[in-house]
Amino acid sequence: MKANSKSMQKYDEEELEILRNLEAGTLKPVDDFKKIMKTHRLVAESTLNKINNKSTGE
């Protein structure tokens, strides 16, 4: 999949940049991926819990 094909028009500039870097082979793996994902997951869960509590009046 090429980043500059007509089917890519639905992507925003950041997504296109990621695709271009993927195609160029310049993306690098993250060393502490599991730790970062755990942190992001906890933050996302906390945010969703706050939203749900506000909508239910708790």
Instruction: Write down the pLDDT at residue 38.
Output: 97
Instruction: Write down the pLDDT at residue 7.
Output: 56
Instruction: Write down the pLDDT at residue 9.
Output: 66
The predicted model scores a pTM of 0.49
1: in domain: no
Q: Indicate if the alpha-carbon torsion angle 30, 33, 35, 38 is positive or negative.
A: positive
Counted domains in the chain? 1
Query: Which pLDDT tens digit goes with each residue over 2-56?
Result: 555 555 568 889 999 999 999 999 998 889 999 999 999 999 999 999 998 887 7
Inter-residue contact 26 to 8 (CB < 8 Å): no
Domain carrying residue 15: 6-56
